[in-house]
């Protein structure tokens, strides 16, 4: 790992990919949950549903552009040339068996996801394509990381793909709901829909968090080579500690919301309790943005087990 402008740019593109992918998936789930109530133009759910649709479209456009930006930085990094000259190296970068195949899978998935976001018809075929695209993107992103060192058809790739999917669902719901969608359900007439959607966000996030923790532990053990000393002496280990701290922060805030703010909101349906829930969700979303940035830096740092000695 060489800490220079190219590395920083590549990590920035990877972080943008993480955030955009999560935002798109979270918006897709929220849009599906609100779709039925949003059919009537005067429905209180319609503004939130429209936000979910627009958020998904915007996020998928950003994802496609970030994918292209990452490839450019990868070409420059692998060839040692300046960024403007890296365009000529892109075919070589794509010709690499590992990087080229993984990037192509993720990019094709992003294009399909963009097409589904642009589609105005929500049917079985569209939904199937959407979730196939999500799985392809997660698999491609997982294969761009250190899990691919064990082989493209390895258990490590499968575990890390599941980790990426679960983190994307959890973080995507929190970020899309907290920063874009649920604030549109702030009126008293939409309070019932806010409570129902909040319950869906909380329940799905709880399942996703359980998967994140299990797969994350497996990934961490593989990355350290089974020794905690490797965490202390490596940059990878320090970034891992930062990521774990941000995850812990998000878990604490999410726990406060699920076990304190949300039950109180269900009992009272008051404006003050609705604000408490959405404010906590907003803070959890900020923590998850930090998690996605740390994850990008982690995937572009040399794992502890690979360090000399």
239 close to 3: Cβ distance less than 8 angstroms: no
Round the average pLDDT of the chain to a whole number and report it.
90
Neighbours of 247 (CB within 10 A): 23
pLDDT in tens, 25-34: 999 999 999 9
pLDDT in tens, 41-90: 778 889 999 999 999 999 999 999 999 999 999 889 888 888 888 888 88
What is the percent of the chain with per-residue pLDDT over 70, rounded to a whole number? 94
Mean pLDDT value of segment 173-189: 94
pLDDT grade for 152, boundaries at 50, 70 and 90? low
CATH of 5-306, one of 2.60.40, 1.20.1630, 3.40.50, 3.30.1490: 1.20.1630
pLDDT grade for 141, boundaries at 50, 70 and 90? very high
Predicted pLDDT at 129: 95
Predicted pLDDT at 151: 58
Predicted pLDDT at 308: 53
Q: What is the CA radius of gyration of the chain?
A: 20
What is the percent of the chain with per-residue pLDDT over 90, rounded to a whole number? 65
43 close to 120: Cβ distance less than 8 angstroms: no
pLDDT in tens, 192-222: 999 999 999 999 999 999 999 999 998 888 8
The dihedral built from the CA positions of residue 160, 166, 167 and 169, taken in this order, carries a sign that is positive
Predicted pLDDT at 304: 64
77 close to 7: Cβ distance less than 8 angstroms: yes
Give the whole-angstrom CA distance, residue 134 versus residue 150.
Answer: 23
186 close to 30: Cβ distance less than 8 angstroms: no
pLDDT grade for 1, boundaries at 50, 70 and 90? low
pLDDT grade for 277, boundaries at 50, 70 and 90? very high
Inter-CA distances, 199 with 40, 68, 276, Å: 23, 37, 15
Give the whole-angstrom CA distance, residue 97 versus residue 276.
Answer: 50
Predicted pLDDT at 147: 62
Predicted pLDDT at 260: 96
Predicted pLDDT at 148: 59
pTM of the predicted model, to two decimals? 0.94
pLDDT in tens, 82-123: 888 888 888 888 887 688 889 999 999 999 999 999 987 778
pLDDT grade for 262, boundaries at 50, 70 and 90? very high
């Amino acid at each position: 790992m060489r800490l220079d402008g190219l590395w920083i740019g590549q990590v920035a593109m990877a972080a943008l990919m993480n955030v955009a992918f999560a935002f798109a998936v979270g918006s897709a789930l929220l849009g599906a949950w609100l779709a039925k109530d949003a059919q009537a133009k005067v429905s209180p759910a319609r503004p939130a549903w429209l936000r979910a649709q627009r958020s998904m479209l915007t996020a998928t456009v950003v994802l496609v552009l970030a994918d292209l930006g990452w490839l450019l930085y990868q070409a420059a990094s692998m060839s040692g040339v300046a960024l403007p000259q890296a365009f000529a190296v892109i075919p070589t970068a794509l010709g690499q068996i590992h990087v080229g195949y993984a990037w192509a899978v993720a990019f094709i998935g992003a294009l399909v996801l963009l097409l589904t976001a642009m589609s105005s018809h929500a049917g079985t075929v569209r939904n199937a394509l959407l979730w196939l695209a999500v799985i392809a993107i997660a698999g491609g992103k997982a294969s761009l990381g250190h899990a691919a060192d064990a082989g493209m058809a390895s258990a490590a790739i499968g575990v890390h793909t599941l980790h990426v999917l679960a983190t994307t669902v959890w973080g995507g719901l929190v970020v899309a709901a907290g920063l874009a969608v649920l604030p549109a359900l702030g009126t008293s007439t939409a309070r019932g829909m806010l409570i129902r959607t909040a319950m869906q966000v909380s329940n799905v996030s709880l399942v996703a968090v359980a998967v994140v923790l299990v797969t994350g532990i497996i990934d961490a053990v593989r990355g350290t080579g089974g020794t905690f000393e490797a965490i202390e002496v490596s940059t990878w280990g320090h970034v891992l500690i930062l990521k774990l701290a941000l995850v812990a922060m998000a878990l604490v805030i999410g726990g406060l919301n699920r076990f304190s703010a949300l039950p109180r909101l269900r009992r009272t349906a008051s404006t003050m309790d609705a604000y408490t829930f959405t404010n906590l969700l907003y803070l959890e979303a900020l923590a998850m943005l930090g998690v996605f940035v740390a994850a990008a830096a982690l995937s572009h740092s040399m794992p502890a087990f690979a360090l000399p000695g």
